[in-house]
Amino acid sequence: MINVIGLGYIGLPTALMFASHGVEVVGTDCNEYLVTTLKAGRTTFKEAGLDELFGRAVDAGIQFTTDYQSCDTYVISVPTPYDKASKKIDPSYVTAAVGDVVSVCPKGATVIIESTVSPGTIEKFVRPAIERRNMVVGEDVHLVHAPERIIPGNMVYELLHNNRTVGADDLSVGERVKGLYASFCQGEIAVTDIRTAEMTKVVENTFRDINIAYANELAKICRSDGMDVHEIIRIANKHPRVNILSPGPGVGGHCISVDPWFLVGDYPGLANIILAARKINDSMPDFVLERASSIMKERGIVDSSKIGIYGLTYKENVDDVRESPTLQMLESMERHLAVDACKVYDPWIEDDIVLNQVHSMEEFLDGLEMVIVMVGHSQIKGKSEMFGDRVLLDARNVLGNDDNVYKL
């Protein structure tokens, strides 16, 4: 039996995947409301294919509880929050969960950490958390790091098809865990040591951050000299070895905008491109504001209450707002006392999370002269006509070309 600890964005789909592939699974979360919701037969966030997968897992007998189970395998997928000021992760949820499971597990159980951790965290924090309980890692309990790799918006497909990494002290334990993931994972599963697995995960997300930063820097260069960055990237990408990503209003999400800081923090003076990329991506929300203000001047729009912001999530077709560029932009506007003015709308966010948030497109567009499109949800993709004759700043390049559509 597997006890999956932490039933959030990663833990829930992973637990469901194991359960729907013949593995006995109990999902544990300390949040009673979440467990009650799952027990009542409802999923707790929106994700393509998740409800169907949930149905299959429930049919296969998955259980949800707030209690830790006594079993031979644990998957830890609790959050690793990070402190914006120090740029370091807080490993306390992981160490607490590991401490809790090792106090109930039988001798020889395997604890698999899926949560992303900064390189060295398992050595520095997780092992000591076990040793403090007078247990010997490798005898009383086996430690494994199997960082998740799935992308929100396509999680179910990627769980099935992505290659994975399994890091373990003991290769035979690694091979056993590989076999477990192979119950559903059709990709290649590389077995390595724990530190390599930690580093690999952070390096992957940093690779993407740097590549997005290149696209964003090109957008700034092209804007400064009246060139169309999208056309340039489109043509450059015809080269067989070039694949430039898309410029946008910034990088959000809990991973790509966070993980590179671990390398910057741990390797000062060495992580130079990485630091530069982070700074470029973090500067994008302000770049959008500058661009909006020059368009307002060009179009004679003076009243900022006539400007609306479309999109709150960190990317399209997800309901996740962690580190979202729109939130970063609103923070920046707040610093300049301009925040009360703009209406904000995102069809994926039902709760009120920012000032002047509205909950229908109609209410949003009412009275607006200009819209800043921060997220390219399917609702609007390719449909600039939905905005009538309003001026549009399309920070995601999803609205096509039209006289009213401005790009970054």
Among 58, 151, 182, 190, the residue binding ligand SAJ under the rule CB under 6 A is 151
Q: Which is nearer to ligand SAJ, 256 or 344 (CB)?
A: 256
Torsion of CA 379, 381, 385, 390, to 10 degrees: 90
Q: What span, in angstroms and rounded, lies between the C-alpha atoms of 298 and 172?
A: 66
Distance of CA 218 to the CA centre of its chain: 24
Among 170, 174, 173, 172, smallest CA distance to 191 is for 174
Task: Indicate whether 149 belongs to the interface with ligand SAJ (CB under 6 A).
Answer: yes
Count the site residues for ligand SAJ by CB under 6 A: 20
Among 135, 81, 109, 156, smallest CA distance to 3 is for 109
Among 27, 79, 91, 152, the residue binding ligand SAJ under the rule CB under 6 A is 152
- Phi and psi, residue 301, nearest 5°: -95, 120
CB 374 to ligand SAJ: min, Å: 9
Task: Indicate whether 233 belongs to the interface with ligand SAJ (CB under 6 A).
Answer: no
Residue 201 falls in the annotated catalytic set? yes
Task: Indicate whether 251 belongs to the interface with ligand SAJ (CB under 6 A).
Answer: yes
Residue 343 falls in the annotated catalytic set? no
CB 110 to ligand SAJ: min, Å: 22
**Piece of the chain touching ligand SAJ by CB under 6 A; list 63-71, 100-108, 245-253, 385-393:** 245-253
Q: What span, in angstroms and rounded, lies between the C-alpha atoms of 16 and 57?
A: 5
Task: Indicate whether 46 belongs to the interface with ligand SAJ (CB under 6 A).
Answer: no
CB 187 to ligand SAJ: min, Å: 12
Half-sphere exposure (CA, 13 Å, Cβ side) for 285?
21
Among 96, 156, 245, 358, the residue binding ligand SAJ under the rule CB under 6 A is 245
Number of CB atoms found within 10 A of residue 236's CB: 12
Q: Which is nearer to ligand SAJ, 35 or 212 (CB)?
A: 212
Residues 196-225 that bind ligand SAJ (CB under 6 A): 204-205, 208, 212
Among 77, 33, 69, 38, smallest CA distance to 55 is for 38
One-letter identity of residue 216: N
Task: Indicate whether 347 belongs to the interface with ligand SAJ (CB under 6 A).
Answer: no
> Which member of 185, 255, 343, 407 is catalytic?
255
CB 348 within 8 A of CB 377: yes
Give catalytic residues, as residue numbers. 201, 255
Positions in the binding site for ligand SAJ (CB under 6 A): 116, 148-152, 204-205, 208, 212, 245-246, 248, 251-253, 255-256, 314-315
